[in-house]
Amino acid sequence: MASSKHIAQVLLDQAYPPEAAAAIFTEKVLRKPLHLRPTSPDPSSQDARARRRLQRLRKEEKTRRRQKTKPLSAKEKRISGIYDIPDDQKKYEIYVPLHRMWLGYMWEILGMREGEKAYVTAQGAGSKLASADYHGAEVIVVRGRCVGMVGLTGIVVRDTKFTFQIITKKNELKTIPKRHTVFRFNIPQPEGKRDEAEGLTEHTKKENESPARSLVFELHGSQFEHRAIDRATKKFKQSKSLIDL
């Protein structure tokens, strides 16, 4: 017949005297508190887990911000075609507003005010013209080693280190090297609004027009082989050497 004693009490009887075994069994087994694990997680543990997750996400975001994005190489830029102008955008009239904006930009840096004739000298404006941005300028090729490019006129749509890309009035995109090429561009006096305010007729305007109302500059491309962003911070010095054309 099987014993009705607890297995722990049987083992204690074998190891200790009866009185000691009964005392140990009562204290260690019968009166031992039983700690039950709650079925739902502790709220404090949830808060700690959420804080650790938030700290980890912030650390990952901080590390991501510190990482510098690797710029595209020249080959990757050519393959992607990010600088290519679509055929439907190769139209002269599209860039006429850009040219007008460029004229306002040049009037500002040269100090040309509406209604006043400007006197621009090489000493005063040479460095400003050398460091200016020519996106939107209407240039004319007056001299160069390539005879076929002499006489081309167009608006600059891209100013690279070694070339000007222009859109001609025939809606053609031409790439002109700067080296051994002389470009000419005109900056008219900002007097259009003043004439309108004075109510001058077209006939009177034609009679008053004179070559002095436009400033004509020639740009030697061989001394201008810099990107537009680099020219803004570069200090140019006047050179007495002749240009080899």
- Convert the pLDDT of each residue in 13-44 to its tens digit: 888 898 888 888 888 888 888 777 666 666 66
Please report the pLDDT score of residue 199 as a whole number: 45
Please report the pLDDT score of residue 200 as a whole number: 42
Which residues, including other chains, have CB under 8 Å from residue 76's CB and lie 6 or more apart?
none
Interval 47-75 mean pLDDT: 84
Please report the pLDDT score of residue 45 as a whole number: 64
Which of residues 142 and 189 earns the better pLDDT score?
Answer: 142
Interval 47-53 mean pLDDT: 83
- Convert the pLDDT of each residue in 103-123 to its tens digit: 988 888 888 776 666 666 666
- Convert the pLDDT of each residue in 75-88 to its tens digit: 888 888 888 888 88
Please report the pLDDT score of residue 82 as a whole number: 83
A 10 A CB-CB count for 183 gives: 24
Measured at the CA of 118, the angle between CA 240 and CA 202, to 5 degrees, comes to: 125
Q: How far apart are CA 134 and CA 235, in angstroms?
A: 17
pLDDT grade for 62, boundaries at 50, 70 and 90: confident
Name the DSSP letter for residue 85.
Answer: P
Q: Which residues of 195-231 are buried (b: 16+ CB within 10 A; e: fewer)?
A: eeeeeeeeeeeeeeeeeeeebebebbbeebebebeeb
Q: How far apart are CA 184 and CA 163, in angstroms?
A: 15
- Convert the pLDDT of each residue in 137-166 to its tens digit: 999 999 988 888 899 999 999 988 899 999
Please report the pLDDT score of residue 83 as a whole number: 81
pLDDT grade for 173, boundaries at 50, 70 and 90: very high
Which residues, including other chains, have CB under 8 Å from residue 170's CB and lie 6 or more apart?
92
Please report the pLDDT score of residue 241 as a whole number: 47
Only one residue has tokens 């502790």, namely 42
Overall size of the chain counted in residues: 245
Which residues, including other chains, have CB under 8 Å from residue 99's CB and lie 6 or more apart?
136, 137, 138, 155
A 10 A CB-CB count for 131 gives: 17
Largest Cα–Cα separation, the chain: 138
205: pLDDT strictly greater than 70: no
